[in-house]
Amino acid sequence: MEAGSPDWSRDGTQLLFVSFEDGAHGSASFPFIVTIDTSTGRVVRHGRLPLPKEIQNALWAVWSPVSDEVALEADLGGGRHSLWVVNSDGTAARKLTEYPMRTYGGVSWASGGKALVYAALTEGRMQLFAIPAAGGAPRQLTRNSANLFTPRTSPDGRLVAATRVSHLKEVRRIPLPR
């Protein structure tokens, strides 16, 4: 079993993370929520976030900064991912978008919980996009020559940080020793 990055709920009593597990039908990943007694630090409850059948293989999960909603990036297979928002009990799931992808890219809440920033494949590169959390058309934020992953918005919502990966291809002349 392997676990993804944990994310605290806005009240600091719950941790959300994705766990990758091997099973009878191959590996899959699921979001889990751990509830913690903040006075003792002990785990009160833990379990898988129940999701509708449409959401399979959740790769990334983050809490909303303003509600009990969770944003999920899910693998649809065939090089496609989807972005979802669900209540913390797994109800009221809404799919925001589908997009081409070759790895997990990450998702972050933005604009005080009104939008999501995510990474998706376009023109052979991973770039950053934003989409309203209530639904709507995605907007491309970057057109970088490198791949951009794991976006994180600043607390004031004015900036986005992302991991930039560039695979530079060069031809060099190197003299051989004689």
Predicted structure pTM score:
0.86
pLDDT in tens, 159-172: 899 988 876 655 55
Three-class DSSP category at 135: coil
CA angle 77, 83, 99 (to 5 degrees): 55
Task: Calculate what percentage of the chain has a pLDDT beyond 70.
Answer: 90
Q: Residue 1: how many CA atoms within 13 Å on its side-chain side?
A: 7
**For position 102, what pLDDT does the model report?**
74
E runs forming strands in 89-170: 94-100, 107-110, 115-122, 125-132, 139-140, 147-153, 160-165
Confidence tier at 39 by pLDDT (50, 70, 90): very high
Burial class (CB in 10 A: 0-12, 13-18, 19+), 67: middle
Rounded Cα distance, 99 and 113, in Å: 21
Confidence tier at 4 by pLDDT (50, 70, 90): confident
Decide if 125 contacts 146 (C-beta within 8 A).
yes
pLDDT in tens, 59-101: 999 999 999 999 999 999 888 999 999 999 999 999 999 998 8
**For position 22, what pLDDT does the model report?**
73
Confidence tier at 121 by pLDDT (50, 70, 90): very high
DSSP state of 25: T
Confidence tier at 149 by pLDDT (50, 70, 90): confident
| Mean pLDDT, residues 130-141 taken together | 96
Mean pLDDT, the chain, integer = 89
- According to CATH, the topology of domain 2-165 is Neuraminidase (2.120.10)
Rounded Cα distance, 58 and 5, in Å: 13
pLDDT at residue 26 tops 80: no
pLDDT in tens, 98-118: 998 877 788 999 989 999 999
pLDDT at residue 143 tops 90: yes
Q: Is 26 left (phi over 0), alpha (psi -120 to 50) or beta?
A: left
Domain ranges of the chain: 2-165
| Mean pLDDT, residues 27-46 taken together | 93
